[in-house]
Structure 1
């Protein structure tokens, strides 16, 4: 009898706990950025976290984009299901480029709490909500248009060094970089420069040493003017040098135009754009090329079509592009780069991506013979008709539909 009472009481407690758990709204967060999942679960305990987006009462899509100052603008899209069908909201906030990880995760928690409030007040949990507002004054728009002593200019300078090795192998590299950007909703100006030096030394079994050295520098300048919610106009210029690419100096100047079928304001969730550029290019080669050229001016144009969409069922991205020289239309390259992350069924996710390119435009390839060592070490760029890579993944998650607990032990 005593065993029966204990069993009955245990079952009763389990039912009560299950009922309490089921009374909480369920959410699924689709993170296209760093979401600090464990910290979020520790701080937001009034919801149940689902393993499957299809079963959640509230689907949350978290994305971000880089701001002109080097920070990130985060967008949280809330979409209701089940009892919350038809309810949808979007919140945004900006992460300061100098903020610490602690500040960033607290900002995310506050953003999620604000977005979830709309749904919580529709449940019996409304009676447990404590509501307060910090400050009583209404914020003015002057904070947004306040005079900036830097006039929206952001500068960055830095460098890196790396040394590693063992008895038969040594590697050292050094790099430096500088950038200056000014980005507003009307104009975008970006300048960047980078220098790289890398040296590898291999000791063979007979004591012979083989050394490979890679050196490169690059300057890049870009200006874009926002013409309308769908059109952009501008240009870019690039100049550099590369031992791998057989160029002492290479310079490109291009005018460019882009049309986006969807408004740019929706770029975090969907984009369908057509980008065209054209202009002259100058090359001063380290060695004569397979076309018997030491220096040359050429013209080239390119077209890139990009489609991206991020929704509750997953994410799809397809990029299709081609570029071609004006002086010889047979010199071109065309590429296709798809990426799909698709939840086919509850818990079953398909992930596919890749890149395929047909290449006939490598006019910089050196005419001189290349040794086997140079091929293995990839010291110089080689001619090819194609390049590709692909990846494929499938994952099936099953079991408990809840995902609330955090256990950092071990």
Structure 2
């Protein structure tokens, strides 16, 4: 009798909750980088569900980096069930100076805007109030940009750790300069890196040190909605790679099968670069060179697709020196995240490369210590990396409640 009473009470509670949930707009927030807990607490008159199959509204986010080191957001609102005829799309941007809190509030504001038509269809128009900002006055002039789209970013970082038998430290810094316009994109990046590790064995200290610096610059011009031309320059030095000084200058061309404006959702592209490369080495190489100037070309084919069921991307690259095409390299990469059915997700990543163009290797080779401490680059004909992830979620479809206790 006691068991029957408990089961009856549970059925009554579940039935009451079901009636309540039927009157609430069910949404699936499809956003990997969003602060979901914040929106669960702040977004009114909705019930968050764990899978798009259960949702009345599928809210799908895509982003692209913009010229101000911020992000351009594109949110698609797709109605399902009785809301299937309602669709909306909102686009907005943040800057590099936008704080985390400001970004959360901007996203929340746009979520509310995008849900208005669904709330009205759900009978909640009496709960909605709108406030419109006044239009620009006739005598007001549009603000001019004194920086003419130029942005600058300076950064520095360091870390250290250790124990009685060893310690490590790293110091690095960088400077980035950009100007992004509709027809032209220029960027310049400089950086330095210094990494040192010390291992103590008996009374001996074994030291591993890596130092490098670089400068990358590119200037890209829009020829059409599908075609681009660019110039790519880089220079620097690397103790690990046996390069006391290097630089390369390569013009390039790229064609995208789809309009560049659609690149946040889909892209199929091919690009080609050709130019010369100069290397001056710390030590003589396996080809008995102390410095050399060579011509090199690069070809890349890539594609990406972002949809509500997941995303897929991949590329294939080929490079070789023109004086000897047997000195070449190849790399391919594939990345996908799929929602195969309710609650089940599959993540795959694979990368494989061949390298027959290591002209910079030291003639004297590397000692066991150099190899173990990764003090210098060694001969390697291939490299690979792969990962597989599976997840299956089942149970209650509702996940609106936020309980942060003991999360810190």
Q: TM-score, normalization: structure 1?
A: 0.93
For residue 154 of structure 2, what is the aligned residue in structure 1? Answer: 157
The alignment partner of 2:340 has SS state of strand
Task: Determine the C-alpha separation between the residues in 1 that align with 2:111 and 2:147.
Answer: 32
CA RMSD of aligned residues (A): 2.2
- 1-side partners of 2:402 and 2:237: how far apart? 50
Shift of the 227–9 alpha-carbon distance from structure 1 to 2, 3 Å rule, reads same
Give the whole-Å Cα distance in 2 for the aligned partners of 1:162 and 1:4: 62
**Corresponding residue of 2:28:** 28
Verify: 1:131 aligned to 2:141, yes or no.
no
CA 1:133/1:296 → structure 2, altered by over 3 Å: closer, same or farther? same
Q: How does 1:282-301 map to 2 (within 5 A)?
A: 282-301=278-297
Is the aligned partner of 1:109 residue 2:108?
yes
| Secondary structure, aligned partner of 1:329 | strand
Work out the number of aligned pairs and report it. 404
Match of 1:184 among 163, 178, 181: 181
SS at match of 2:324: coil
CA distance in 1, matches of 2:204, 2:228: 56
Change (3 A) 1:286 1:397: same
Q: 1:297 to 1:5 in 2, by over 3 A?
A: closer
Query: In the alignment, is residue 15 of structure 1 matched against residue 11 of structure 2?
Result: no
Once the 2 structures are TM-superposed, how far is the Cα of residue 15 of structure 1 from its aligned partner?
2.6
- Secondary structure of 2:325 counterpart: coil
Distance 1:305 1:57 in 2: 39
Distance in 2, matches of 1:135 and 1:342, equals: 41
CA apart distance, 1:121:
2.1
Report the secondary structure of 2:38's partner residue.
Answer: helix
SS at match of 1:131: coil
Q: 1:136 to 1:12 in 2, by over 3 A?
A: farther
1:71 corresponds in structure 2 to: 70
Partner of 1:49 in structure 2? 48
Do 2:365 and 2:378's aligned partners in 1 also have CA atoms closer than 8 Å?
no
Pair 1:223 & 2:192 matched: no
Tell me the alpha carbon deviations over residues 126-174 of structure 1, each in whole angstroms, 9 at most, x when there is no partner.
3x3322223232699x98x631011111111221222222211011221
In 2, the alpha carbon distance for the partners of 1:240 and 1:212 equals: 21
Aligned-partner Cα distance in 1 for 2:151–2:325:
41
